[in-house]
Structure 1
Amino acid sequence: MKQEYQDLVLQSCGASSLSVGATIQTLWSGYGEIVRLHLEDCDRPSVVVKHVKFPEDAVHPGGWNTDRSHTRKVRSYQVETHWYQNYSTNQSCRIPACLAACSHGDEMLIVLEDLDVAGYDQRRTSVKDREIRACLSWLAHFHALFMGVAPEGLWPVGTYWHLETRPDELEAMDDAKLKAAAGDIDRILNECCFKTIVHGDAKLANFCFSKSGQDVSAVDFQYVGGGCGMKDVVYFLGSCMEEKECEKRVPALLDYYFAELKLSVKKDVDFAALEKEWREMFAFAWTDFHRFLLGWMPGHWKINRYSKQLTKEVLRKLKL
């Protein structure tokens, strides 16, 4: 790590020295890494640094190496930096504190609170009902907090699969009916009366859990932006449950999400109208992500019977 970046970390944390610890993960397509830095003589034993360095030759797991893809990723890191520097949440939808951020040419650095030290040191690859509900509660409080807030400096429409940013994947689709309906589905979601700020990549892997599993914090805000909260909900549920579980458990989990949303939304919001609209948007949001997967990776495990059934319902509503 460059000396100027080390100096930024030392200055922002009031530490006398630092040492580079383990790499937590490499960033998608070789765009950098997330590392833990250990600090001396300050009140933080460690911080987590997201170090972005745009590669000369990106390697995409799905083969989507295009100028459009690169431009989207660059923008995503700019959005994430803006998010951490200009937005804040509360304990009900915890995120890591941003301690410093900078950019130089093809490199960007975000210095974040170490969530492991804060008690969110558990990661889950499979979850029980308690953990699922903890994440849905986080999403409900997050959506309530930003209900009606304009996504200034963020993506106008959040989520990494937003249709306008994915024309190549749309073109690659074989499903002619869904391809024809993609624009209408996108429009219907975008024209929701009730809009919030969505996380945009709310998969299980982006939640950090407490030991009990009852408290969570979320990370990775590259695709945060405006939109219908159902986009986050369907993406999260699809990330941690297979088709049979979805068929059996989604109704009760949706009820739980809306109960949490009702508790946390501002009193001047017409909650009955909000719930009615967003419940209607559930199948549209699920189908919207299904559309992306069909073009991006047609063999993906999330392309299942449950997704296909919801897509059929949406196409029937659109009379296609």
Structure 2
Amino acid sequence: MIQGMRIPEYVQIKDVSPRDGLQAEPTIVSTDQKVELVNRLTAAGVPVIEVTSFVSPKWLPQMADAEEVMRRIERKPGVRYSVLVPNPKGAERAFQSQPDEITVFVSASETHNYKNVHRSISESLAGFAEITEMAKDAGVPVTAVIVTAFGCPYEGRVPQSQVLDLAAKLTGLGILDITLGDTIGVANAVQVYDMMEAFQLSLPMVRLAMHFHDNRGTALANMVAALMAGCDRFETALGGIGGSPFSPGAGGNLASDDAVYYLQEMGIRTGIHLEQLLEATRFLESVIGHAVPSRVYRAGGRMTPVGPEGDWHE
């Protein structure tokens, strides 16, 4: 830890661009391109990659090739290849593809949960109970994401107590790896820090991660607030792409490029090679056919002063 602060020495990055990033893209990305994207993230040293989602192709055509993508990616020992599942039916499909972990998701607000998955929160939790039993049989760990944890497009600000109560129910199912998602990018640094402290006091057994969206340019500040409270796990997306098609106002994710650059400049290890990550972003931009929001991708990596005039170069 950095002296005098709870900032960790190592941070785990989970890149969600192959799933959360691409699901918002209007143009269908080919299976070959998805496989190449995952392989480039692997080569860059990303330790956890969310590869795809086993949802109905009717709802998300972009993820219709989930099985083939999982079959074709080049898996590297030590890297965890994760998949998202909405319900037990999706989990059944997912387990056939031998993921290293599966992720379930539930909204902190009833309205968003129903609009997102057409279920109440209690119905989603009942489905998770089935999934966790299936996962035990398959020997696959389960993680969970609580979306709209800081604000809902339909219900507004979500009370902290509501998030803690939902997280407690997840722990009752044996799910201890929980991510809080700022789905519409409304969290602020004080709110994030307070949420971290509340979890540490009320649910210390939870291994908490944060997932920030950058609608209002606050994602990096929120990451630093979480770091100061001891958070050592973040979900980010290459290039800053992404956003849920089912969440009005959901902007892009905190860019993996920006997060890794900033963490490394702070002396925090990630195990990720920034230059290779930026090359992966260049590939991604060519695939989706439009500019990505990542600031570090535009500005370049670390700058070094040279010459008597103190000019700068990459």
Same fold (TM over 0.5): no
> Radius of gyration: which is bigger?
1
Greater relative contact order (Cα < 8 A, sep 6+): 2
Whichever structure has more helix as a proportion of its residues is: 1
